[in-house]
């Protein structure tokens, strides 16, 4: 088996003293801290060329690090070897009778899979195996297997992240000026240079039941499905049912904007072939400027708008236009971001001091959190930058739970910013 030294873990009792040595005396940089809540550990990575040092600080007395320090004092705690296939590595070790702490891999920091080998089998050193889980170009392997949609409460409101499956879009277009060698580490491209994106509408249940965006819907022909690699095997109807809901339960539909991957699910073809609203009881909230743009497309945005997704709503008389930022139901507001389209809006959710935000295409995936990672599709990218910077500063400060509509792996998370380095702590 091939194994590469990934990092060396050091159990720390006195963090300021450790930082005093590694950062101040040695002059090394200390990266953003990462909290592994399940382990009651806070990790501070120190880059030193190839492998890193990891300063481990206990955050609770029952932490394995606290117990280790009680028993042996602070110091070298473990080494971590990176392997390509952690399950194969574990079964190879098991076959040789090596004593393992973890027979099965579990999830560690940054979504990696990890497993520990008992020190008695490794010359007295606790050895951690680690396999990086790269987002697969074949999205089938990253689709959550038959599980309930993520639910979270924000004050008096309940939020349920649902799904309308996956599409594939050109990786270059998704990352604008970011060079491919950088973005393909975050989002591997397939043989047509496309990356996999999820479509995750959000249900908000409060005084009424709302859905924000509705994915692609099911009206597209085979050519379209081939171009965009459409996979709706995990569709909105499936996930609504998993959440115990149906289309009839929806009172309000909010459109962040009218691009086909957000508004396609607003309408459906009935048995007679007629296109009608897909949520039979709902009123549809649309920004008036976005409606104007969608119904008068130009060469630069025409590919993103399909009239069948929204014109039938006007015919059915279910549209509710908004002209400015406003509350749609208690705790839920639409707020214009511009950038992606002139009237693109996000949705902010606030109840009892808790906050969440559905940012749609202002920041479609967690890879779009750094400043320069802005879609080439955006009509006004500098406006996206301004809106994003303002939003992130506030989200970091106020602990806003951020929903990433297109991220294939992470439905929502908290953005952390330590000395300008932003990370996303996924909602677990």
Q: Which residues bind Zn ion (CB under 5 A)?
A: 259, 261, 361
Closest residue (Cβ) to Zn ion? 259
Closest CB 340 distance from Zn ion, rounded Å: 5
Count H helices and E strands in the chain, helices first: 11, 26
Closest CB 22 distance from Zn ion, rounded Å: 42
Q: What does the alpha-carbon distance between residue 406 and residue 362 come to, in Å, rounded to a whole number?
A: 11
- Name the residue nearer to Zn ion (CB basis): 131 or 366: 366
- Name the residue nearer to Zn ion (CB basis): 205 or 406: 406
- Name the residue nearer to Zn ion (CB basis): 350 or 361: 361
Q: What does the alpha-carbon distance between residue 30 and residue 418 come to, in Å, rounded to a whole number?
A: 10
Closest CB 426 distance from Zn ion, rounded Å: 20
The 10 Å CB-count burial string (b at 16+, else e) for 170-183 is ebbebbbebeeeeb
Q: What does the alpha-carbon distance between residue 133 and residue 82 come to, in Å, rounded to a whole number?
A: 11
Q: What does the alpha-carbon distance between residue 46 and residue 315 come to, in Å, rounded to a whole number?
A: 60
Closest CB 376 distance from Zn ion, rounded Å: 12
- Name the residue nearer to Zn ion (CB basis): 128 or 361: 361
Closest CB 260 distance from Zn ion, rounded Å: 9
Q: Which of 38, 43, 37, 49 is nearest to 15 (CA)?
A: 43
Distances (CA, A) of 48 to 14, 31, 36, 383: 21, 11, 22, 37
- Name the residue nearer to Zn ion (CB basis): 129 or 174: 174
Closest CB 387 distance from Zn ion, rounded Å: 14
- Residue whose tokens read 């990370």: 423
Q: What does the alpha-carbon distance between residue 393 and residue 357 come to, in Å, rounded to a whole number?
A: 13
Q: Is 287 helix (H, G, I), strand (E, B) or coil?
A: strand
Closest CB 247 distance from Zn ion, rounded Å: 21
- Name the residue nearer to Zn ion (CB basis): 261 or 290: 261
- Name the residue nearer to Zn ion (CB basis): 184 or 361: 361
Q: What does the alpha-carbon distance between residue 414 and residue 342 come to, in Å, rounded to a whole number?
A: 27
Which run of H or of E encompasses 139? none
């Amino acid at each position: 088996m091939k194994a590469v030294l990934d990092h060396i873990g050091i159990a720390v009792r006195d963090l300021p003293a450790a930082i005093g040595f590694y950062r101040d005396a040695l002059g090394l940089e200390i990266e953003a801290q990462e909290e592994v809540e399940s382990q009651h550990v806070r990790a501070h990575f120190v880059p030193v060329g190839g492998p890193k040092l990891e300063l481990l600080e206990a955050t609770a007395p029952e932490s394995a690090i606290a117990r280790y320090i009680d028993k042996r004092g602070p110091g070298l705690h473990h080494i971590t070897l990176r392997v390509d296939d952690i399950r194969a590595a574990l079964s190879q070790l098991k076959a040789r009778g090596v004593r393992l702490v973890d027979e099965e891999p579990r999830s560690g920091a940054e979504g990696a899979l990890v497993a520990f080998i008992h020190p008695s089998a490794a010359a007295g050193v606790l050895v951690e195996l680690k396999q990086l889980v790269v987002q697969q170009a074949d999205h089938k392997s990253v689709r959550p297997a038959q599980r309930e949609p993520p639910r979270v409460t924000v004050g008096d409101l309940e939020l349920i992240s649902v799904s309308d499956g996956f599409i594939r879009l050109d990786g270059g277009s998704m990352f604008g000026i970011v060079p491919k060698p950088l973005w393909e580490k975050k989002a591997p491209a397939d043989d047509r240079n496309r990356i996999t994106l999820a479509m995750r509408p959000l249900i908000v249940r409060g005084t009424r039941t709302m859905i924000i965006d509705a994915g692609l819907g099911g009206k597209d022909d085979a050519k379209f499905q081939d171009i965009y690699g459409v996979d709706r095997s995990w569709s909105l109807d499936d996930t609504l049912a998993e959440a115990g809901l149906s289309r009839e339960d929806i009172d309000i539909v909010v459109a962040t904007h009218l691009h086909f991957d957000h508004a396609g699910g607003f309408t459906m073809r009935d048995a007679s072939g007629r296109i009608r609203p897909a949520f039979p009881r709902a009123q549809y909230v649309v920004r008036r400027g976005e409606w104007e743009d969608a119904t008068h497309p130009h060469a630069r945005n025409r590919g993103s708008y399909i009239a069948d997704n929204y014109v039938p709503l006007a015919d059915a008389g279910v549209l509710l236009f908004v002209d400015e930022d406003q509350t749609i139901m208690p705790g839920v507001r639409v707020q214009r971001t511009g950038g992606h389209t002139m009237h693109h809006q996000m949705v902010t959710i606030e109840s009892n001091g808790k906050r969440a935000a559905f940012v749609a295409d202002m920041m479609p995936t967690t890879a779009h959190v750094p400043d320069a990672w802005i879609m080439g599709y955006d009509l006004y990218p500098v406006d996206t930058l301004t809106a994003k910077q303002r939003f992130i500063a506030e989200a970091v400060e106020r602990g806003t739970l951020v929903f990433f509509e297109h991220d294939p792996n992470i439905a929502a998370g908290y953005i952390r910013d330590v000395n300008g380095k932003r990370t996303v702590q996924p909602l677990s």
